[in-house]
Amino acid sequence: MLEIIRRTVQEVNSAPDLQHALSVIVRRGREIICADVCTVYLTEQETGEHVLRATEGLAADSVGHVRFGLYEGLVGLVSERAEPVNLDDAPSHPRYRYISETGEQRFHGFLGVPIIQHRKVLGVLVVRQQESRRFDEAEVTLLVTLAAQLAGAIAHADISGGIVVEDQQHQPISRIIRGRPGAPGVAVGTLVVAYERAHLDEVPDAAVADIDVEVAHFEKVVAGVRVELQEMKDRFDPSLKEERVLFDAYLMMLDGDSLVEGTITRIQTGNWASGALRDTIQEHATMFESMEDSYLRERSSDIRDLGRRILLRLQSGSPRARVFPENTILVGEDLTATHLAEVPGDRLVGVISAKGSTASHVAILSKALGLPAVMGVADLPVRHLEGKEVIIDGYRGQVYLSPSKVVRNQFERLATEEAELSKSLGELRDAPAVTTDGQKMPMYINAGLLADISPSLESGAEGVGLYRTEIPFMIRESFPGEDSQVKIYRQVLEAFSPRPVVIRSLDIGGDKMLPYFPIHEENPFLGWRGIRVTLDHPEIFITQLRAMLKASVGLSNLHVMLPMVTSVDEVDEAMILLHRAYEELLDEGEKVTFPKLGVMIEVPSAVYQADLLARRVDFLSIGTNDLTQYLLAVDRNNAAVADLYDSLHPAMVRAVLQVTAAAQEVGTPVGVCGELAGDPLGAILLVAMGVDSLSMSSGSLSRVKKTICGFSRVEANGLLEEALKQEDPESIRELLRTAMEEKGLGGLVRAGI
C-alpha cells in the first residue's frame, strides 16, 4: 500500500497541470479503495460553490457543470466541518442531495475528505459505493493522504492560472496571493523570475521569438552533448563494462525519438528550450519512478543527470542576456541580494519571495532601496510566472496576479500617491525627529557595506546604530587581515564623524556563513553563532578589536557592540579581550582611546538579565529581529510559520518594555536596532517606552521620523497603556493604525490612506 501511495504522490507532483493531477487522484483513488466512484470538487470562493472538476465513475460531461453551494449537500458538509464524513447510507442523511445529471444511481456508501492548504478548504475528495458500506479507518487515512497531496497542486494551479474563475461579465477575476509584508509601498509591473541557472527544476517558462532558431540551437546542443558523452565513454578502459554501459544508455536516449523530439515538440508550442527540456525530463523521470522494478526506478536519476548535462550546455553555449522590462518585479523561491543586484536599478520596482519573512535580509534590503516587497508567499509556482502582469502591496503583503483593469487603475493611482508621499517625506531629511511636546529621538541607520555610507548620509541619519562587520568577511575567500579591516572601519568612522558609529563584532552562524569557515549544525540558529564563535576564536576577535581601535585614532565616535550575548560571563570575557587589544596597541605606540562598549539584547536570557548587563556596559541595543524569532520560537525565514512572526506580539512588547525599564533604572542608554524601529507603528510604542535612539534601514528613516513628529509623548504613553491590554498582535496593530489615521498619517502604514 505504501508503495502505491508513493507512486501516486510522484505522479501528482510531476503532473504538467492541475487537470492531469486531478485525473491521477480520481483514477488511483478509485483503484486503491475499490470504490465505484471517485470525484473531486474544487471550491470557488469567488462564486461560493463547489464545482465537480474530475470524476472516475460518473458521466464525463458532468465535469464543470455540477455545482453545490458552499454549504449545500454532503460535499458542503465536508467543507463546512473541514473533516472527513463517512456514511454507510448517504441518502438517509438530511444533507444528501441527489444529482441526476451525473448519471449516478442511488449510491449509499459515502466518504468525503476536505482538501486543505494552510487552513483553507480548497475542495472535497469523495469516493462512493453503490451498496451500503462504511469505509474503514485505513481507507479514510488513505483518502486523507491523497487529498493532502492534491492540495499543493491546486494551490499552484490557482496562482498560475490553472483554475479559471470569471465574474458575471465573463472577465477573469484577479487572483490575490497572500504573503507577509516585506517592505512598504505599492508597485505595478511585470514579473521576472530569478533562478539558479544550474538547477533544472527551477528553470522558468519563457516565450521564444523565433521557434526555428530555438529548435536549431537545441539540436546543436544535443549534438555537442552526444560528442561529449562519447568522449567520456572512450576514456574508460574497455574492461570497465558497467561504467561504459551507463554512457551507452545516455547515448541511446539521445538517439531515440522520445526525449529529443518531445523537447522539440514543446519548443514548437512556444516555450524556450530550457523550459521544454525541463518538462520532457520530468515526464520521462516520472515514468521510470512509477515502475514496479526497483532497478528501472533508479534509472530516473540517470534521466535527470542527462537533463542537467543538456541544460548546462544550453546555458553556457548561448548565454541569454536577460531582458528586464521597464517596471520589473523580481520573483523567486528564495531571493538574495545578488538577485536584486542583477536588475538595473532604474527598472526594479518591487520584490516577491516565496520564502522569508518581514525580517529576512532581502526584505531589509528592499526597505533600504525603497522597494515594496512581499515575503513568504507559500506555494508560489515561480517557474510559471515569467512575464505575467502583477501588482504588489507591500503594506498588506498581497500580490494581485493578472489584475483586472479596475484593480490596475486603482493601484496605479495608489502608486502615484506613493511617489508624492516619498517626495514629501524627502523634505524631512534634515529635520530632527521631535514629538509635538518636544521629546527628541536620535535617528540612526543600519549599514553593512561601504556603499551604504553615501545614501545613509543623504538620508539625514544622525549616526550609525548598527554596522554589520560580517558582510566584509562574507565576500572574501579568507579572513580579512587587520590592515584590511582598519581601512573599512576607518572609512565608516570618518564619514560620520563626530556622529556615533556602533560597530558590531563579527556575527556569523545561523543564516550567515563564511565559505572558508563552514559551520555544520542541525539547528544553526541555536548553535555556534555570534559571540560564541568569537570567544572560542580569540585570534579572530582580537584582530577585529585591534582593527576597530586603530581605525578610530583621532576620532571619538567608535562604539563597539557584542552580538548574541546570553550571559554576563560572555561580556566579562569579551571585556578582558578588549582591554588586551587596547593595552597591546598602547604598547605599540598607537594613540588609541578606549571605546564605549554595548551589548545586543536579542535572546530571552538577555531580557531577564538586562539589569545585570546594563551595569557592565555603556549601552544596550535591542535587536528585535532575532529577539522576536527566539521569543516566539519562529524561524523568521520559514514561510510556513511566517504568520506567527510578529514584532508587535504582546510578548515582544512586554519584553522590550522590561529591557528599557531595567536599563533606565541603572541609567544606561538603550536603543533599538531591529526592524521594529523602522516600523512607524512600533516607533510610537518605543517613544512611549523611553527608548534613547532608533536605528533602521535608510529607506524607513523618513516614515518613522514623520510618525514621531506627529505624536506627543503623552499620546504615545496612552497608546502603550492600551497596547499592553491587548491579547494578540493584530489588535495592537489595529490600535496603532487607527491612531495613525486619526493623525492623518495612515498613508505611512496603509496604501491609499
Pairing state of beta strands 619-622 and 596-601? parallel
Across the range 694-722, mean pLDDT stands at 93
Q: Which secondary structure element, helix H or strand E, spans residue 738, and what is its range?
A: helix 729-742
Q: Residues 671, 542: one domain?
A: yes
| 737 within domain boundaries | no
Q: pLDDT tens digits, residue range 159-168?
A: 554 444 444 4
What the block records as the C-alpha cell of 630 is 527566539
- Rg of the chain over CA atoms, in angstroms? 30
| 380 within domain boundaries | yes
User: Could you give the number of structural domains in the chain?
Assistant: 4
Please report the pLDDT score of residue 352 as a whole number.
Answer: 93
226: domain CATH number? 1.10.274.10
Q: Which secondary structure element, helix H or strand E, spans residue 67, and what is its range?
A: strand 67-69
Q: Residues 218, 187: one domain?
A: no
pTM of the model: 0.69
Last residue of a domain, one of 368, 399, 423: 423
The active-site residue out of 50, 284, 649, 673 is 673
| 731 within domain boundaries | no
Q: Residues 290, 353: one domain?
A: no
685: domain CATH number? 3.20.20.60
383: domain CATH number? 3.50.30.10
Q: Residues 542, 650: one domain?
A: yes
pLDDT band at 52 (very low <50, low <70, confident <90, very high): very high
Q: Among candidates 340, 277, 362, 339, which has minimal Cα distance to 314?
A: 277
Q: Residues 606, 485: one domain?
A: yes
Alpha-carbon distances of 20 from 261, 262, 325, 344, 379, rounded to whole Å: 22, 18, 33, 39, 18
Please report the pLDDT score of residue 16 as a whole number.
Answer: 67
Encoded amino acid at 204, one letter: P
Q: Residues 266, 404: one domain?
A: no
Q: Residues 408, 457: one domain?
A: no
147: domain CATH number? 3.30.450.40
User: What is the DSSP track for 308-355?
Assistant: HHHHHHHHHHSPPPPP--SSEEEEESS--HHHHHTS-TTTEEEEEESS
**DSSP letter assigned to residue 293:** S
Across the range 712-727, mean pLDDT stands at 97
| 464 within domain boundaries | yes
**Interatomic CA distance for residues 619 and 171, integer angstroms:** 60
Q: Among candidates 144, 90, 109, which has minimal Cα distance to 34?
A: 109
Range with lowest mean pLDDT among 12-26, 269-283, 349-363, 525-539: 12-26
Q: Residues 553, 665: one domain?
A: yes
Pairing state of beta strands 464-468 and 443-447? parallel
Across the range 715-727, mean pLDDT stands at 97
pLDDT band at 475 (very low <50, low <70, confident <90, very high): low
Please report the pLDDT score of residue 172 as a whole number.
Answer: 45
The active-site residue out of 20, 361, 537, 709 is 361
Range with lowest mean pLDDT among 16-20, 559-563, 605-609, 666-670: 16-20
Q: Residues 290, 352: one domain?
A: no
Please report the pLDDT score of residue 170 as a whole number.
Answer: 42
Location of C-alpha cell 533604572 = 665
Please report the pLDDT score of residue 167 as a whole number.
Answer: 42
Last residue of a domain, one of 288, 317, 346: 317
Average pLDDT, the chain: 85
Range with lowest mean pLDDT among 143-152, 229-238, 381-390, 641-650: 229-238
Handedness of CA 498, 661, 625, 522 (dihedral sign): positive
Domain housing 215: 200-317
| 575 within domain boundaries | yes
**Interatomic CA distance for residues 128 and 105, integer angstroms:** 11
Across the range 223-244, mean pLDDT stands at 69
Last residue of a domain, one of 134, 160, 186: 160
**Interatomic CA distance for residues 205 and 13, integer angstroms:** 18
* pLDDT of 682 over the 90 cut: yes
* pLDDT of 751 over the 70 cut: no
pLDDT band at 241 (very low <50, low <70, confident <90, very high): low
Pairing state of beta strands 398-401 and 175-178? antiparallel
Q: Residues 235, 306: one domain?
A: yes
Which residues partner with 326 through β-bridges?
Answer: none
Decide if 301 contacts 362 (C-beta within 8 A): no
| 90 within domain boundaries | yes
| 168 within domain boundaries | no
Q: Residues 368, 273: one domain?
A: no
| 261 within domain boundaries | yes
Q: Residues 44, 143: one domain?
A: yes
Decide if 381 contacts 152 (C-beta within 8 A): no
pLDDT band at 234 (very low <50, low <70, confident <90, very high): confident
Q: Among candidates 360, 337, 366, which has minimal Cα distance to 641?
A: 360
Q: pLDDT tens digits, residue range 388-408?
A: 899 999 888 889 888 878 888
Q: Is 673 a catalytic residue?
A: yes
Decide if 558 contacts 551 (C-beta within 8 A): yes
Please report the pLDDT score of residue 450 as a whole number.
Answer: 67
